[in-house]
Structure 1
Amino acid sequence: MTAASSSEHVASWYAATANPTPERPALTGEVDCDVCVVGAGFTGMSAALHLAERGHSVAVLEAARVGYGASGRNGGQIVNSYSRDLDVIEARYGAETARALGDMAFEGNRIIRERVERYAIDCDLRDGNLFAACNAKQLDGLRAHKALWERYGYTELELLEGTAVKREVESDRYSGALVDHGGGHLHPLNLVLGQAAALESLGGRIYERSSVTGIDHGEPVVVRTPSGRIKAERVVMAGNAYLKGVLPEIEGRSMPCGTQIIATEPLGEARARALIPNGLAVEDCNYLLDYYRLTRDHRLLYGGGVNYGGDDPRDIESLIRPKMLETFPSLADVGVEYAWSGTFLMTLNRLPQFGVINGNVYYAQGYSGHGVTCTHLAGKLIAEVIEGRSERFDAFAGLPHLPFPGGRLLRVPLSALGAWYYQARDRLGI
């Protein structure tokens, strides 16, 4: 994981309300361990914690701070399944692959809840999320979505049609919605900080401000930083969009993308509950979707859009505030106190990339905007494959991944052109 542009957390509402956490030292000298994990986000912490629970000695390298990347900046929504749902997986890759991934599609959610309970992690965990349809076509899609998940054994969904959606969201934008009573939302930075503390309680070591400058493949693998190195039997690469230049062989089939979030000033409990009466997290069904939820101090946290290439826009509020007001015109008088960006990694097929290099360097990345749950599943599967149980890891590793059309030079404009096309279809309801 190469050095981040800053070693401190971005000025987000999450950082402002983070639980107290110690600063970890940078790596100096030489350290030996069973497994070296590169990246202290959800994937890295999940893998490290699962491995430590199984008795492995684990050392984690982080270029900035624990949770610095997308894991500490995202919308905090616990959304089941994957960025491409099970019907697409079945159509493209066959019933056997769909069944294998379907059996795991709701597991990341369970892992998060188990972690929160076992280690008493204070991360504002709340139940319930909602998929909102902006037109009749999208509502038809939600009906099919419900039937699909129920076919895979998931029975926590409730369809709301027409004005019934106002039971959950006081907005005129929607023609219906699908409530996932088994989903939820949380404070993602506090979740990853809590997992880091849990890892250290089991003897795991975390080194912050320790960017990876190179990897010497072999047995053991040597992972180098500016002031030290780690010798490990196994290495887990969990830098996701912030992993640049260390393993070029896994970078060409993915693209960094940015998304932006704002947090309003406190609304007060009554005004906040008038917007989202039962406190669900919401996302719409557009190609470039909006997502939002209430925070524990009664702010509205609102995000949306995608910036291909991952560069931060100059004025986040000017991009997101109009989206918020389209959904909730009554908030025209409300100020915005926080605005920030986060970079995630997108693949062409919108499914995560798993794999192994030289038999002892493992990676999982490219969750394509659906990472809160899938990262936690990925960490468990990495622990399984390191212990010799490869079937579930291999179900993901066997998915084909192609590079983006146009290569690195043209992938951003071509992706933006494609997004414009799908946005136009959303606006027309076709």
Structure 2
Amino acid sequence: MIHEGRLEAAMTNVPVWDDGAWVPLPSLQGNVSADACVIGLGGSGLTLIGELLRRDERVIGLDATDVGAGAAGRNGGFLLAGTYDFYHDAVARHGHERARAIYGATLTEMQRLAAGAPGTVRFVGSKRIAATSAEIEDCRVQYDALRADGWPCEWYEGADGTGLFLPTDGAFDPLMRCRVLARAARNDGATLFARTPVTAIHGTAVITPHGTVHAGRVFVAVDGRLEQLVPEVRDRVRTARLQMLATAPTAEITVPCPMYYRDGFEYWQQLPDGRIALGGFRDKGGPGEWTTDATPSAVVQAHLERFLRDTLAVRAPITHRWAASAGYTSTGLPAIEQVRSNVWALGGYSGTGNVIGALAARAVAAAAIDGDLTQVRRLLGEAWSPEVPVPDVRPVVAP
């Protein structure tokens, strides 16, 4: 419970996904070199490492905390097709051709995620439940747009309310997925370091408190706080705090799939063991939720608890409360840039990093290593071009 504006101490800021079994990675000590250095060991960073390894790059990966310690391992565990915007809004905002291409790419990517981390994904669909009559009408517009383009979508009216059922969406364990990818990367030859915050990037030298990585290329693959590591994106990426809680296993309700409510401001799912994981109410926290502080706040947690008790009618004990930092952009599309010669930045997934982040990672690898800008342009538009021209030859790695 919330006591006089304070959170109960038990499991505060530990995500429900953390089973405590992970053995932390070592920290960097001394100077090392590689073809590529990837900063950030979340879903996008680890996907990027996998793509670089497939291109025979020697890769070093760094994280300030550990694998999946940011939003990648602390989110709601939803796999949703499309962009930040609902499909009809994406069509209006980004154009029909690009919105359709991105939606199709995310459907394909979800299957790749499941194949790359076996046992972590359940394709159970998702529901968008309307909170108001106006939102019901918006669901109808979304339904029509999806069906017009041949995407699976069903109108839903039932015990949960009225809205849409999207059968191609899914649920997964985001932290387990990151750990599976990290193990695979290490087995394939990548060298990964945790508890290694980056203090500066000088050229393609990555400076940390106890060592330096000399690399041919540097990739900053973080979502929240991207603007701190890469000042060049400060006018395009802003970090927000997202908060969640989880309960003990319960049979009080049955939630068959991930649920979105109130235009997506609230979201919840039931884990296979019966626990309820609930997030949202960022808008109720006010301007203070635009912060790099990833500590749960009493205000938002109180809203979550009331929703759990009053709307979902769940009385099971709350066992976990946690928060994460996520990057948002004004377009709802990710930030993907070559910000300096041989230094790339990707992040700002606007709450869609589970799928869009993986797509962004694959796109950056193709652009930086292969010189193929097709995938980046599919995400960001034909007008996109890197700030610094993509080099025609592989850069020489410092000794």
Name the TM-score, length of structure 2 as normaliser.
0.84
Equivalent runs, 1:132-147 vs 2, <5 Å: 132-147=129-144
Q: What CA distance in whole angstroms lies between the structure 1 residues aligned with 2:307 and 2:215?
A: 48
Equivalent runs, 1:22-421 vs 2, <5 Å: 22-117=23-118, 122-123=119-120, 125-155=122-152, 157-161=153-157, 165-166=158-159, 169=160, 174=161, 176-217=162-203, 221-243=204-226, 245-267=228-250, 271-272=251-252, 274-276=253-255, 279-284=256-261, 286-287=262-263, 289-306=265-282, 307=285, 308-310=289-291, 311=293, 312-315=295-298, 317-329=301-313, 331=314, 333-386=315-368, 387-398=370-381
SS at match of 1:83: coil
Give 1 or 2: higher helix fraction. 1
Q: What CA distance in whole angstroms lies between the structure 1 residues aligned with 2:175 and 2:72?
A: 7
How far is the alpha carbon of 1:86 from its aligned partner?
4.4
- The answer to which of 29-38 and 312-321 deviates more is 312-321
SS at match of 1:245: helix
Is the 1:50–1:383 Cα contact (8 Å) retained in structure 2?
yes
Q: What CA distance in whole angstroms lies between the structure 2 residues aligned with 1:140 and 1:304?
A: 22
Q: Does the C-alpha gap of structure 1 residues 281 and 93 become closer, same or farther in structure 2, counting only changes over 3 Å?
A: closer
How far is the alpha carbon of 1:244 from its aligned partner?
5.1
How far is the alpha carbon of 1:257 from its aligned partner?
1.0
- Give me the identity figure in percent: 24
How far is the alpha carbon of 1:363 from its aligned partner?
1.7
Is the 2:377–2:383 Cα contact (8 Å) retained in structure 1?
no
Is the 2:242–2:325 Cα contact (8 Å) retained in structure 1?
yes
Q: Does the C-alpha gap of structure 1 residues 130 and 86 become closer, same or farther in structure 2, counting only changes over 3 Å?
A: closer
SS at match of 1:29: coil
How far is the alpha carbon of 1:374 from its aligned partner?
0.8
Q: Which amino acid in 2 is paired with 1:159?
A: W
CA RMSD of aligned residues (A): 2.4
How far is the alpha carbon of 1:264 from its aligned partner?
1.2
Q: What CA distance in whole angstroms lies between the structure 1 residues aligned with 2:95 and 2:266?
A: 31
How far is the alpha carbon of 1:153 from its aligned partner?
4.0
Q: Which amino acid in 1 is paired with 2:306?
A: P
Is the 1:291–1:302 Cα contact (8 Å) retained in structure 2?
yes
How far is the alpha carbon of 1:336 from its aligned partner?
0.9
How far is the alpha carbon of 1:395 from its aligned partner?
3.4
Q: Does the C-alpha gap of structure 1 residues 46 and 152 become closer, same or farther in structure 2, counting only changes over 3 Å?
A: farther
How far is the alpha carbon of 1:321 from its aligned partner?
0.9
Q: Does the C-alpha gap of structure 1 residues 339 and 187 become closer, same or farther in structure 2, counting only changes over 3 Å?
A: same
Matched, 1:14 2:10: no
Q: What CA distance in whole angstroms lies between the structure 1 residues aligned with 2:146 and 2:354?
A: 19
Q: Which amino acid in 2 is paired with 1:139?
A: I
The gaps in structure 2 that reach 5 residues or longer are 1-11, 385-399
Is the 2:336–2:346 Cα contact (8 Å) retained in structure 1?
yes
The gaps in structure 1 that reach 5 residues or longer are 1-8, 402-430
How far is the alpha carbon of 1:314 from its aligned partner?
3.5
How far is the alpha carbon of 1:85 from its aligned partner?
3.8
Q: How many pairs align?
A: 365
Q: What CA distance in whole angstroms lies between the structure 2 residues aligned with 1:37 and 1:153?
A: 38
Q: Deviations over 1:102-121 (max 9, x none)?
A: 4424233122112124xxxx
